[in-house]
Amino acid sequence: MLVGLGGCSEQGFAPVEKVELTPNPDIEVAPNVLDFGAVPSGEQVLRTFTISNIGETVLHVTDLELVSAGPFTILTPESDFEFLLDPSGVREFEVVFEPTQAIDATGEITVFSDDWDEAESVVELVAFGVVSYLAFSHYRKHA
């Protein structure tokens, strides 16, 4: 992209200068929210989010950080939380929610990168752990 300014010499404007913008990486994280819904205790639900580089140069993702008030787990090993992503490159990450009790769970995953205007991108996590109760009643047959 070229940017230039110019004007009349009578007004004392300087001649047009060409400025070239440097291509940059550009991160895109989708979706912004992973909703696991209501999950019975002892079961698990898997959701996936992607990190894409929609920029023109290599994107350096430096870390993923999970902060949560619930039983969420990123299935990718932590050693793979730092990586390079070529332009048009995409990497998927799986997150599991596995409640052991009734819980309203929330959390977030922060993706850190060298994107100049989005160094931190956030994926919100929302889920509900539910416990199934069986109700028994004593039924007595009268003769």
The predicted-structure confidence for 94-113, as pLDDT tens digits, reads as follows 999 999 999 999 999 999 99
Which of 20 and 90 is assigned the larger pLDDT? 90
CATH of the domain at 110: 2.60.40.10
| Model pLDDT, residue 9 | 54
In a domain, 30, yes or no: yes
What are the DSSP E strand ranges found in the chain?
A: 2-3, 19-20, 27-30, 33-40, 45-53, 59-69, 72-74, 83-85, 90-97, 103-113, 120-130
Pairing of strands 33-40, 120-130: parallel
In a domain, 78, yes or no: yes
| 37 close to 92: Cβ distance less than 8 angstroms | no
Sign of CA dihedral 52, 55, 59, 61: negative
| 112 close to 105: Cβ distance less than 8 angstroms | no
Total domains present in the chain: 1
| Model pLDDT, residue 11 | 65
In a domain, 8, yes or no: no
Range(s) of the domain holding residue 50: 25-130
In a domain, 7, yes or no: no
| Token pair for 38 | 């209501």
Q: What is the overall mean pLDDT for the chain?
A: 88
What average pLDDT does range 100-129 have in this prediction? 96
In a domain, 91, yes or no: yes
In a domain, 13, yes or no: no
Residue pLDDT, tens place only, 43-68: 999 999 999 999 999 999 999 999 99
- Provide the pLDDT confidence category of residue 139 given band limits of 50, 70 and 90: low
In a domain, 75, yes or no: yes
CA–CA separation, 133 vs 40, rounded Å? 11
Please check the confidence at residue 31 and state whether its pLDDT lies above 80.
yes
In a domain, 29, yes or no: yes
Residue 14's alpha-carbon distances to 4, 11, 17, 76, 141, in angstroms, are 11, 9, 8, 55, 103
| pTM given for the model | 0.78
